[in-house]
Amino acid sequence: MARASGTAMEGLLQGGFLHTASGVRYKVFSRDGRAWMSYDRDDAPEISKERSVLDGEKELLYFIGSGHRGRTYLYEVEGEWFEIPINFYGKRQLWDMAPNYGSAKTMPAALPVDSNCLHCHASSVQIALPGARNRYEGAPFLQGGIGCSACHGEAAKHLEEQGRGPIVNPAKLDTARRDSACLQCHLEGNVAIYRARKSLADFRVGDDLADYVVYSVRADAKTGGRRASSQYEALLRSACKAASGDKLTCTTCHDPHRSPSAEERVNYFREKCLTCHTGVKMATAHHPEQRDCAVCHMPTREAADISHEQVTDHDIQRHPHSTTPIARLLDTAEADDLVPVGRVSAGDREMGLAYAQLAASGNQKDAEKALRLLLKAEREGSSDVELHTKLGLIEQMSADNNDARREYAASLKEAPYDATALGNLAILDAVSGHTADAVSLLQRAIDADPSQLTAGLNLAFIECRVGNKKKALQILTGLTRFDPDDPTLRKFLSSGTYAGERCSLL
């Protein structure tokens, strides 16, 4: 954990590869004492008309990831921080695309660096400035790696009194707060919804994580979803957890201060099992030829969320080939319902936002559930940016434009630079003929966050249509600093075509 982040040159893993699907060649290297990532693609129109010459580089400033599972790097453009689209995978010792980008046909869009994600890899993470979730007052974090404070709180008094001063000991906290010390980074679920006006970056050990965020999974989820950083929901369904109750926690088997060596591992974890599974027969006669209990009861499976990675299944099954749907444990849950992980109270707002997040992929049933729950939460007094923006989006998708407009306006009262509300309200203004209002909203969005691709494309098209071609070209050129290979942007620049319509930039 102490090596989970740092300066790029301190943790530079040089190498490169050709990504066949996109034709882009990536390389990570050092030059003049600084770290860089280059990307290039030769002109290959016979492969795809949407692809053309690509050539550029980014200076890498920080690394994220210890390298045990993987590592990636951060770079900065005009005060905004982004993650490169490639990862180094520790188990296979190779460079490849970041998760979900393996089949990308072009170089992926820039990935904004969110403080909620940095929380699990660095210390003294900074809170983003208003306007853009990846703009910070200086560096995005002030200390590389996970320091003592992540699990023990502020240590100044403890150090000042030479180890006798007060410090948080998670083992002495109540169950929820004890487990929260680990789960702040080792719980993921299918969906994570932050409580109103809360951020994971604000969490401090000793708090109850459920006061900040609600994690949910589909009721028919199997064995933790095979996510590399989210084995806790699988553990909750295990017979070991059911029998031990609150006594069993992450640190029952894992020492947060050290990991056993490869030579120690089998005996180390076997002794953990035998702490509860006592008796001479279990210790000596139960498969004496196989001392590694995990081989049969916690098998290693391919991770669903990280390429080239495997995870240990924490379902701890007696017969490991069976599956245990969450729905079997919940009398009222249907297979496609979302269920909060653990004994967590989730209101209509949290569950409505969770369904709305899933509905973004086009699931109409999720959208209907989201609309019903969010409207109920709003009637009962809930009012925050996420609620209003998601309600507006669902209503806009359903062509309820007046209701959507009202929700976006409410969102902007809470957060004047919310990019989604600004962009979608601008679309409603544009289609209803209020061009000047649409331009004002879109300009506001990209002034706050120049990397907003959709807002920039829409603004450029409107400016082009009203004759401001120089301004339109300036906007599009600016967008290439963030997404140089976006096919929609390239097509607009090369032919003036956008959203099925044409406006020449010449």
pLDDT digits (tens, 9 = 90+) for 383-403: 999 999 999 999 999 999 999
Return the pLDDT at 327: 41
**CA 482, 483, 484, 488: dihedral to nearest 10 degrees?**
-140
Share of the chain above pLDDT 90, in %: 67
**What is the secondary structure of 308-346 as a DSSP string?**
T-EEE-TT--SSTT----GGGG-TT--TT-EEESSS---
Residue 301 clears pLDDT 80, i.e. is over it: no
Residue 358 clears pLDDT 60, i.e. is over it: yes
- Alpha carbon distance 214, 198 (integer Å): 11
Select from 234, 230, 278, 272 the least CA-distant residue to 253. Answer: 272
**Helix or strand or coil: residue 476?**
helix
pLDDT category at 156 given cuts 50, 70, 90 is: confident
Return the pLDDT at 328: 42
Indicate the range of 70-84, 206-220, 311-325, 384-398 predicted with least confidence: 311-325
- Alpha carbon distance 379, 49 (integer Å): 50
Task: Please tell me which residue, 188 or 437, carries the higher pLDDT value.
Answer: 437
Select from 72, 39, 70, 80 the least CA-distant residue to 56. Answer: 39
- Which two tokens mark 420? 């989604």
Mean pLDDT across the stretch 20-43?
95
Return the pLDDT at 490: 94
Residue 32 clears pLDDT 80, i.e. is over it: yes
pLDDT category at 331 given cuts 50, 70, 90 is: very low
Mean pLDDT across the stretch 102-113?
94
- Alpha carbon distance 336, 191 (integer Å): 13
- Alpha carbon distance 299, 315 (integer Å): 9
Q: Are 216 and 339 in contact (CB under 8 A)?
A: yes
pLDDT category at 375 given cuts 50, 70, 90 is: very high
> In 398-450, where does DSSP find H-type helix?
401-414, 419-431, 435-448
pLDDT category at 316 given cuts 50, 70, 90 is: confident
Return the pLDDT at 49: 53
Tens digit of each residue's pLDDT (9 = 90 or more) over 257-270 = 888 998 999 999 99
- Alpha carbon distance 18, 37 (integer Å): 13
Task: Please tell me which residue, 286 or 275, carries the higher pLDDT value.
Answer: 275
Return the pLDDT at 304: 61
Tens digit of each residue's pLDDT (9 = 90 or more) over 416-444 = 999 999 999 999 999 999 999 999 999 99
CA distances to 124, 172, 224, 398 from 420, in Å = 28, 43, 31, 17
Distance, C-alpha 394 to centroid of its chain: 22
Residue 228 clears pLDDT 60, i.e. is over it: no
Task: Please tell me which residue, 283 or 346, carries the higher pLDDT value.
Answer: 346
Select from 2, 28, 4 the least CA-distant residue to 15. Answer: 28
pLDDT category at 303 given cuts 50, 70, 90 is: low
Residue 335 clears pLDDT 80, i.e. is over it: no
- Alpha carbon distance 114, 112 (integer Å): 6
Return the pLDDT at 189: 85
Residue 310 clears pLDDT 70, i.e. is over it: no
Mean pLDDT across the stretch 53-64?
95
Tens digit of each residue's pLDDT (9 = 90 or more) over 231-258 = 788 888 888 998 999 999 999 999 988 8
Task: Please tell me which residue, 226 or 214, carries the higher pLDDT value.
Answer: 214
Q: What angle do CA 39, 45, 48 make, to 5 degrees?
A: 80
Mean pLDDT across the stretch 306-335?
61
Mean pLDDT across the stretch 73-96?
95
Residue 215 clears pLDDT 70, i.e. is over it: yes
- Alpha carbon distance 410, 395 (integer Å): 14
Return the pLDDT at 474: 96
- Which two tokens mark 232? 């806790």
Return the pLDDT at 29: 98
Tens digit of each residue's pLDDT (9 = 90 or more) over 459-482 = 999 999 999 999 999 999 999 999
- Residue extents of the structural domains in the chain: 5-157, 170-278+290-340, 431-505
The backbone torsions φ and ψ at residue 242, rounded to the nearest 5 degrees and listed phi first, read -60, -40
Residue 46 clears pLDDT 80, i.e. is over it: no
Distance, C-alpha 169 to centroid of its chain: 28
Return the pLDDT at 43: 61
Strands in 15-19's sheet, in edge-to-edge order, are: 15-19, 24-31, 34-41, 54-60
Return the pLDDT at 224: 47
* Domain 431-505 CATH (choose: 1.20.1600.10, 3.40.50.2300, 2.30.30.240, 1.25.40.10): 1.25.40.10
pLDDT category at 24 given cuts 50, 70, 90 is: very high
Residue 226 clears pLDDT 50, i.e. is over it: yes
The per-residue pLDDT of the chain, averaged, comes to: 89
Residue 115 clears pLDDT 50, i.e. is over it: yes
- Alpha carbon distance 148, 152 (integer Å): 6
Select from 57, 71, 75 the least CA-distant residue to 139. Answer: 75
Indicate the range of 25-39, 289-303, 342-356, 492-506 predicted with least confidence: 289-303
Residue 333 clears pLDDT 90, i.e. is over it: no
